[in-house]
Structure 1
């Protein structure tokens, strides 16, 4: 994903995914059922923040130069994944899916049921 349009389209392709600018005019946040699963700066477009299992987050940071502790996020549960790095597009897409799935698993049963009905 070389540009913000492709990135945005991919993030919005997930069931129930929505987008907002809750913090400022450049930080685009993707949600599922009002829970964040991805953040990206639309002007700089250098990296995105993704939710991650804490153990996997540490492994990814050790394995890839392009994976860092989440910038302005919980360093335990979020990673910053840099686009022009040793992280392939395939891996980036997998990490976005993982982030989405983690958030969905954390939803209430009511929200999960509502999501399944979409």
Structure 2
């Protein structure tokens, strides 16, 4: 999957914004101001970091050895860095959804309610 397609997919989700809070090459996607995805725009091959349940993170790292690795500069228990072109696009979208859903579930109930009311 190309980074432009990944960007469009993330932005299609409810309550998502994008920005460059760290530097000019790390695109960060947030839902209700909480980060759920980071994309390295200058990385070759392209890579993205996504939040993941710890047990599933380990399983993915074992299944996709070298293509899914512990999160780069992130909590390695909860984040994976994924080489985008080296896993199936369908799986990348599924993992993006999973990351988004984990963040939404961690939001305060009032913020979740605000998110649900967005168009």
Could you say what the CA RMSD is over the residues aligned between the two structures, in angstroms?
1.0
- Please give the TM-score of this superposition, normalised by the length of structure 1: 0.94
Q: Which residue of 1 aligns with 2:27?
A: 28
Deviation at 1:7, TM superposition (A): 1.3
Asked if residue 71 in structure 1 is aligned to residue 72 in structure 2, the reply is: yes
SS at match of 1:84: helix
Q: Which residue of 1 aligns with 2:115?
A: 115
Tell me the matched-pair count. Answer: 116
SS at match of 1:23: coil
Deviates more, 1:35-44 or 1:67-76: 35-44
Runs of 4+ in 1 over 4 A off after TM superposition: none
CA separation in 2, counterparts of 1:32 and 1:83?
A: 21
CA separation in 2, counterparts of 1:84 and 1:113?
A: 35
Deviation digits for residues 4-32 of structure 1 (CA, Å, limit 9, x no counterpart)? 22111011111001001000011000000
Q: Which residue of 2 aligns with 1:92?
A: 92
Q: Which residue of 1 aligns with 2:60?
A: 60
Deviation at 1:116, TM superposition (A): 0.4
Deviation at 1:84, TM superposition (A): 2.6
Unaligned runs of 5+ in 2: none
Deviation digits for residues 44-85 of structure 1 (CA, Å, limit 9, x no counterpart)? 262100000001101111111211000000000000011232
